[in-house]
Structure 1
Amino acid sequence: MASPLPVRDGVGATRLHLPMEGPWPTAVAYMTERFFHLDPEHLLERFDRGEIIASDGAALTRDTPLGAAEFVWYYRDPPVERDIPFEVEVLHQDDDLVIADKPHFLPTTPGGKYLQNSALVRLRNRLGIPELTPIHRLDRATAGLLMFSVRPETRGAYQLLFQDRRVEKVYEAVSALPEGWDPASPALDGKPFPIVYRNHIEKLRASVCVQVDAEREPNSETLIELIDADEHVVHTLLRPHSGKMHQLRVHLSALGAGILNDGFYPDLLPEVPDDFDKPLQLLARELRFIDPLSGAPREFTTQRTLKEAPGV
């Protein structure tokens, strides 16, 4: 559904579905109850300023009855953000795609306490492309390659590449050297390299971590290869066949090689402010695919490295 409001400062308007009937006499009465944590006077002022917009572009007022509009759009009040002092780099740009190299700590898209400090908003503003849209996402803690669509007309073709698993994604990670590591016969959890690891991962609504169900059929798979190791860490190459949330972090943790500086796995640690000197040691390293428009092979490689990798 197209927004009646343009992208502003790199950020699109938020859409809200309103009930067509209910115990609320007006739209603002419903929104006041829905957003009970907000100052109701501030919400009324936004209606008075004409900032709550229906799909036809008309502004709602504080007297607009419930049922007069099924959807409304508005710009979120910008949060007070902590600056993320790392830049997202553009590795490639053409009429259809932007390939970016995202730093650790920067989210892919705006959300929560991050708005201007997101890869999408920074790139929209820098490149002057309000229609720029991510084709896939990386966790805020993960660095590396991101693909963005420039034009809505060709976006679906690139989205299908990921949907149909026709994009080869390669990651690398650094973990603390597992106990009992034998450099003459390297293995994780008794499994020699290369390792194909599978399990069933499920994201539960009320949990920030995913859950693993050993009784269910595996729905995630990763090929894990050894790059290098020293007396402190092991450096691995990861080729996910599936794309479940936190899959690589979960798989390495299950093998006794949790990624360095991971606050989620194997144990969920208390939330603390970002320590920019301790990024998660996970990097989206390579993207390969056959371009759905030209039929030509495309390959992109990050320019970033993992600071804890052997020899870095």
Structure 2
Amino acid sequence: MSPQQIGLPWPELNDGLTYKDVVSSSDSELTTVSDYYYTKYKSSAPLLGWIQRIQNGQIQVDGEVVEDPNTLLRSGSKLVYHRLPWKEPDTPHLLDILYQDHDLIAFNKPSGLQVLPGGLFQQRTVLTQLQWCFGESHPVPVHRLGRGTSGILLCAKTKLAKTKLSAYFAEGTSLVGSGNMGQECGTVRKISKIYRALASGIVEEDEVVIKQPIGVARYPGVAKGLYVASSEGKPSFSKVIVLERDRQRDCTLVKVEIQSGRPHQIRIHLAFIGHPLVGDPLYVAGGQPKSVDPDLVDATTTPFAQDGGYRRPNQAVPGDCGYHLHAHEVEIPNLLDTHKVVKVVAPLPPILQTSYLAEEEEEKGLSSFKLS
């Protein structure tokens, strides 16, 4: 393994999960253990699924395993639910180091690797690799990239760096919709983020500014809702610049600068203007998912899996891969000397290189950072 990489192979099964709860006085009134879990965690399993988990011996009440779903609970009871280990989907495990100093480390995250635990991916994440490779004082991601998105992921090595970097990302988003659009109004934003993407269809304009708000809609299999283009959503801003048009393959290579950091923003914005990312399994023209049927969003109708939980929905979900989106460049102030700028560049995947500059861009990718 290159000294500029970190990462350990994943074990066959993860360690499972443990969830702890304390029964409150309002919850305990004539409540059984099965009713408690079904009422509080409906998105995890239907009632029959929770009964199955209890009968499997996966739940403890005050340190004792209970297998009777009708066991009554009392106020103050301590509950523990053990989710059984499972094999997570195949996932890359290596991270390239692009830049690091006393406060900051920047990685080139591969497509297919999730940043933080969620859904099926509880162990196979960037966070786990950081814990394994750096120990207790491991760096912490200060922003997210979608599982299918590759490129620059910034991680803080100190508490002060985490505070500052998180503030930089939050500030850039807060400027949008406040009447102060960064450099357009004379204010210099502290962080600049440039992506490279492959959009479907031919974007005829050389430059497109997208200000479509992004909100949340109900969607099967996504408990907290799916981010979509919505007039009732939060302000968002993307600047799209065309780099190359491929009329034979009916796609457009674009550079995208975002001045806000809404979840799935680039995927939604490009889809909103009629050019969803090539290979995107979820978003289609208009910035909406491929299929949303209000009559099908009740997860309680979904058959449950062997461990009692819901099966993966048939519809695409946000973490699905297949699209081409790369966090290519990031510029931030040097945390020790804000008069200097740290610029980090992640080498481009071949499919996101312009045909006439492929060799030159490949050479530039070998120089991963610049301090000015």
Provide TM-score, normalisation by structure 2.
0.62
> For each residue in 1:152-206, what CA deviation from the matched residue of structure 2 results, as whole angstroms up to 9, or x when unmatched?
354212211111113211001012333xxxxxxxx54xxx222111112112354
Give the letter for the 1:210 counterpart.
Answer: Y
Task: Give the one of 157, 164, 187 matched to 1:157.
Answer: 164
Relative to structure 1, the CA distance from residue 74 to residue 146 in structure 2 (aligned partners, 3 Å threshold; closer, same or farther) is farther
Task: Give the one of 125, 130, 150 matched to 1:118.
Answer: 125
Q: Give the aligned partner of residue 268 of structure 1.
A: 290
Q: 1:185-196 residue pairs with structure 2 within 5 A?
A: 187-188=203-204, 192-196=205-209
- Kindly indicate whether residue 258 of structure 2 is the aligned counterpart of residue 225 of structure 1: no
Q: Distance in 2 between matches of 1:46 and 1:92?
A: 48
- Kindly indicate whether residue 66 of structure 2 is the aligned counterpart of residue 40 of structure 1: no
Q: Distance in 2 between matches of 1:44 and 1:74?
A: 5
Relative to structure 1, the CA distance from residue 49 to residue 300 in structure 2 (aligned partners, 3 Å threshold; closer, same or farther) is farther
Distance apart, 1:131 and its partner CA = 4.4
Give the letter for the 2:290 counterpart.
Answer: L
Distance apart, 1:129 and its partner CA = 4.4
Corresponding pairs, count? 276
Structure showing the higher helix proportion among its residues = 2
Task: Give the one of 315, 322, 325 matched to 1:279.
Answer: 322
Distance apart, 1:68 and its partner CA = 6.5
Distance apart, 1:280 and its partner CA = 1.2
Q: Give the aligned partner of residue 54 of structure 1.
A: none
Q: Contact 1:198 / 1:219 at 8 angstroms: preserved in 2?
A: yes
Relative to structure 1, the CA distance from residue 81 to residue 197 in structure 2 (aligned partners, 3 Å threshold; closer, same or farther) is same
- Kindly indicate whether residue 130 of structure 2 is the aligned counterpart of residue 146 of structure 1: no
Secondary structure at the aligned position of 1:122 is classed as helix
Q: Distance in 1 between matches of 2:101 and 2:95?
A: 17
Give the letter for the 1:167 counterpart.
Answer: I
Relative to structure 1, the CA distance from residue 248 to residue 32 in structure 2 (aligned partners, 3 Å threshold; closer, same or farther) is closer
Give the letter for the 1:307 counterpart.
Answer: I
Distance apart, 1:83 and its partner CA = 2.2
Q: Distance in 2 between matches of 1:177 and 1:204?
A: 26
Q: Contact 1:79 / 1:115 at 8 angstroms: preserved in 2?
A: no
> For each residue in 1:107-132, what CA deviation from the matched residue of structure 2 results, as whole angstroms up to 9, or x when unmatched?
11111111221111122212334543
Q: Contact 1:175 / 1:260 at 8 angstroms: preserved in 2?
A: yes
Relative to structure 1, the CA distance from residue 289 to residue 80 in structure 2 (aligned partners, 3 Å threshold; closer, same or farther) is same
Q: Distance in 2 between matches of 1:97 and 1:78?
A: 34
> For each residue in 1:22-71, what CA deviation from the matched residue of structure 2 results, as whole angstroms up to 9, or x when unmatched?
35279994865545534115334596489xxxxxxxxxxx99953367xx
Structure 1: 5+ residue runs without aligned partners?
A: 1-8, 51-61, 179-186
Q: Give the aligned partner of residue 343 of structure 2.
A: 299
Distance apart, 1:289 and its partner CA = 0.9
Distance apart, 1:225 and its partner CA = 0.6
Secondary structure at the aligned position of 1:125 is classed as helix
> For each residue in 1:264-307, what CA deviation from the matched residue of structure 2 results, as whole angstroms up to 9, or x when unmatched?
1115265479xx9x731111111111134432311111124152
- The alignment's C-alpha RMSD in Å is 3.7
Provide TM-score, normalisation by structure 1.
0.73
Q: What percent of counterpart residues are identical?
A: 20
Q: Distance in 2 between matches of 1:73 and 1:294?
A: 48
Q: Give the aligned partner of residue 24 of structure 2.
A: 20
Task: Give the one of 159, 171, 174 matched to 2:198.
Answer: 174
Q: Distance in 2 between matches of 1:309 and 1:46?
A: 57
Q: Give the aligned partner of residue 236 of structure 1.
A: 254
